[in-house]
Amino acid sequence: MDSKAFNPFRMAQEQFDKVADILNLDQGTRELLRNPMREYHFSIPVRMDDGTTKVFKGFRVQHNDARGPAKGGIRFHPHETIDTVKALSTWMTWKCSVVDIPLGGSKGGVICDPHNLSLREQEQICRGWVRQIAYNIGPLRDIPAPDVMTNGQHMLWMLDEYETIHGKKFPGFITGKPVGMGGSLGRTEATGYGVVFTIREALRELAINPAETTASVQGFGNVAQYAIELYTQMGGKVICVACWDQKEQKAFSFKKETGVNLEELRSATDRFGGIDLVKAQKLGYEILDGEAWISQEVDILIPAAMENQIRKDNVNSINTKVKIIAEGANGPTTPEADVVIQKNGIFMIPDFLANAGGVTCSYFEQVQCNMNYYWEKDEVLSKLDIKMTSAFLDVSRLAQTKNIYMRDAAYIIAINRVAQACKDRGWV
């Protein structure tokens, strides 16, 4: 599966098929879980600042809601596709299931590039997206959240539009809202911190002191930055970070053997996680090729950007020193690369386990909104730690007991729970 022919939904289905065979699922259950239950395509007309009208393509896919209302983010990306959204909604179903929260999986997106849009134009896209789907989503049906290139402000515009349409207050309609407007403390850190909670447990199992480890990270957005923050607090050292450069339209890696200074590098970063090349060089960073992050001599690799980043054509570039791969991104590793990683004995923490901190904290936000009572940050992060650690231990125990790959163990737990919910409801 090379990058040109990459289809994330086909990859998600391949991963499912493998575990469906292990679980010996019946044909009806396979057909139900292999494809989304509902899929929406719509057009969003927007009056641009120059007076012209531009039509943006929007999506919402609800993969499965047997265990509860669907849950999933909304991406703004110029290369968004329906196959990507379908794959992400599928992975959201397994993600909610593996951490055992009562939600299903969904995902949304708009084909657009916020880099080239004014705030007013972005607001119109947000409100237009909600208008097209307002009666097919909601706090008891499907709860959106931020994702790639969307943030709390986007969520607040969407919430306002939804409440205007329905004429009522629905603070639990959407998560990832600004704190003070129904958002949860700790939500910003949640996904990145969750990744590191699972890394901490993996290091414990491998009897490795975090303070004696190094890491290389792909991405420098929200997930990557907070993963670096907590990993550094544990004593680890990040020596390389890779990210996309909007001006050059290509990726670069930024290396510093003495270790990445998070606040220093943030000062050279735009709001989309892009690092300024000139500023980084002045700060003493070596500028390398965009794929150099994967070949660094480190103990831990954290792909925390986009899907399809560890592939058949580059998996053998992984240094023999690497002991753990923690997937902060969704679908960063293709099935062909997985085979090599498993053969090489690298401890894999799969995406829908490693990065489940975000949806877990979104669930916490929804609970707080429904109660109209909000927890302190320490309480949120403590609950997140407990949930992530428990999920990791469940997956790790099954992997050890059955002598199987961590990804397979996570899928077995997640798919089995969803399949049982479908059976209990009488769907299959």
Residues serving a catalytic function are 107
Query: What Cα–Cα distance (Å) separates residue 248 from each residue in 49, 184, 275, 276, 419?
Result: 26, 36, 11, 11, 46
Q: Enter the DSSP assignment of 310.
A: B
Residue 312: both structure tokens together: 């058949």
Residues 6+ apart with CB under 8 A from 125: 44, 46, 56, 76, 110, 112, 117
Bridge pairing between strands 286-289 and 250-255: antiparallel
Residue 26, Cα to own-chain centre: how many angstroms?
30
- Written as one letter, the residue type at 197 is F
Residues 6+ apart with CB under 8 A from 223: 191, 192, 195, 304, 328, 329, 355, 358
User: Across the strands, what pairs with 288?
Assistant: 253
Sheet containing strand 142-146, strands side by side: 38-47, 53-64, 104-111, 70-77, 142-146
Contact 228, 262 (CB under 8 A): yes
For residues 189 and 191, what is the distance between their CA atoms, to the nearest angstrom?
A: 6
For residues 84 and 107, what is the distance between their CA atoms, to the nearest angstrom?
A: 9
